[in-house]
């Protein structure tokens, strides 16, 4: 049993994730379902060997120190992986996310057309949110690629780790990886502002300093794209504001109201009409009414604004889920299970 044979088999089975855990058989996730692979149980020595085969000396040193390490691994001319190495019950475990080598076009992702319109924004903050594995990175990569093919600009990406790799087309694209090219998102973002960028992708706004710098960059005329682990637009706005001390929250509400251009919140579903996944997408566009709600701390009213502005491209999560169900793409059980308001959606689907 060797690592590359496992990776090749996982690719053939259209897996999204591979789990290599000492004491267990290799497992894969395919369309959200975990299944065992036809390999023997991994020994502790074999799991350690796989880790050492993939990780750089710096990642191995980090793992030895803190018992966790995140890094990327590439098999030339085959595939790239986002890897987390960790300890569990005293033995090593490896979680690998398969990164598609080719950036898909936006038109192939079953996303609302309004997301393509966001790639024409000259400045401001655009957030793509959702749970882990909801397709945020793929959506952002497709948006970057659309701009790469259209503009003659400078794009900087700050990632942990670099996932999709871009080739400069019309744009000049630089990709910086956490740990390898910069010590933190905040440090990379602070210095990126001195590197003449037009468009900045921040892998995740995971702390106050990074968030503040991202909003500042958007305020000063850059288009900033980033992610948060939130499930809807109103929660996204509240999460950002709650990062700040109480005394600064009124100020940040005003700054966010001025800079935020839109929030895209994704949830992935297994398709029932054919193999694969399909996203349900909530879209918030920052109209003057939405900006006033943010300034006045009335974010609880954002869902109502989304529902009443469908004509300009806004869409609630439950409306997107209902559309997928009525188009025969997802099951009723999955639709209700992931709805924001399950009881209300169940009545709508039964009508």
Check whether residue 88 and residue 113 sit in a common domain.
no
Check whether residue 202 and residue 222 sit in a common domain.
yes
Residue where one domain finishes, among candidates 99, 127, 154: 99
Q: What is the mean pLDDT of the chain?
A: 95
pLDDT above 80 for 341: yes
- Cα-to-chain-centroid distance, residue 309: 25
In the prediction, which pLDDT does 292 show? 98
Whole-number Å distance between alpha carbons of 351 and 348: 5
Check whether residue 120 and residue 261 sit in a common domain.
yes
Whole-number Å distance between alpha carbons of 196 and 155: 9
pLDDT above 90 for 311: yes
Q: Is 56 exposed, middle or buried (0-12, 13-18, 19+ CB in 10 A)?
A: middle
- Residue 318: give its domain's CATH number: 3.40.50.300
Residue where one domain finishes, among candidates 99, 127, 153: 99
pLDDT above 80 for 344: yes
The model's pLDDT over 12-63, given as tens digits with 9 standing for 90+, comes to: 999 999 999 999 999 999 988 999 999 999 999 999 999 999 999 989 999 9
Check whether residue 60 and residue 133 sit in a common domain.
no
In the prediction, which pLDDT does 99 show? 84
The model's pLDDT over 146-181, given as tens digits with 9 standing for 90+, comes to: 999 999 999 999 998 788 889 999 999 999 988 889
Identify the domain containing residue 214 by its residue range. 106-350
- Residue 25: give its domain's CATH number: 3.30.450.90
pLDDT above 80 for 276: yes
How many domains does the chain contain in total?
Answer: 2
Instruction: Tokens for 48, please give them.
Output: 């350690």
Instruction: Tokens for 224, please give them.
Output: 């900033």
- Give which of 249, 259, 99 is closest to 163, Cα–Cα: 99
pLDDT above 80 for 100: no
In the prediction, which pLDDT does 263 show? 98
Check whether residue 114 and residue 208 sit in a common domain.
yes
The model's pLDDT over 231-254, given as tens digits with 9 standing for 90+, comes to: 999 999 999 999 999 999 999 999
Check whether residue 296 and residue 164 sit in a common domain.
yes
Check whether residue 249 and residue 304 sit in a common domain.
yes
Check whether residue 176 and residue 269 sit in a common domain.
yes
């Amino acid at each position: 049993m060797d690592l590359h044979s496992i990776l090749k088999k996982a690719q053939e089975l259209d897996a999204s994730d591979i789990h290599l855990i000492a004491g267990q058989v290799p497992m894969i996730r395919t369309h959200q379902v975990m299944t065992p692979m036809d390999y023997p149980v991994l020994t502790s020595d074999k799991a350690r060997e796989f880790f050492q085969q993939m990780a750089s000396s710096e990642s191995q040193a980090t793992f030895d120190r803190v018992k966790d390490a995140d890094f990327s691994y590439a098999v030339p001319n085959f595939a790239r992986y986002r890897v987390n190495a960790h300890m569990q019950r005293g033995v090593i475990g490896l979680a690998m996310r398969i990164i598609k080598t080719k950036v898909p076009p936006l038109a192939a992702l079953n996303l609302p057309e309004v997301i393509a319109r966001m790639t024409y924004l000259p400045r401001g903050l655009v957030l793509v949110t959702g749970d882990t594995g909801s397709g945020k990175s793929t959506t952002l990569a497709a948006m970057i690629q659309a701009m790469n093919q259209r503009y003659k600009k400078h794009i900087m990406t700050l990632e942990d780790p670099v996932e999709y790799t871009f080739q400069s087309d019309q744009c000049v694209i630089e990709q910086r990886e956490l740990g390898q090219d910069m010590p933190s998102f905040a440090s990379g973002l602070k210095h990126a502002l001195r590197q003449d960028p037009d468009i900045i992708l921040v892998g995740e706004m995971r702390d106050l300093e990074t968030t503040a710098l991202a909003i500042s960059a958007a305020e000063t005329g850059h288009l900033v794209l980033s992610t948060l682990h939130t499930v809807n637009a109103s929660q996204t706005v509240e999460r950002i504001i709650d990062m700040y001390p109480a005394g600064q929250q009124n100020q940040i509400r005003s700054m966010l109201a001025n800079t935020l251009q839109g929030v895209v919140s994704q949830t992935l579903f297994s398709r029932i009409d054919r193999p694969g996944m399909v996203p349900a997408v909530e879209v918030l566009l920052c109209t003057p009414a939405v900006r006033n709600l943010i300034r006045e701390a009335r974010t609880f009213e954002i869902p109502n604004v989304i529902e009443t502005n469908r004509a300009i491209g806004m869409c609630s999560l439950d409306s997107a889920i209902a559309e997928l169900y009525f188009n025969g793409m997802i099951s009723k059980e999955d639709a209700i299970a992931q709805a924001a308001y399950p009881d209300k959606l169940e009545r709508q689907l039964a009508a």
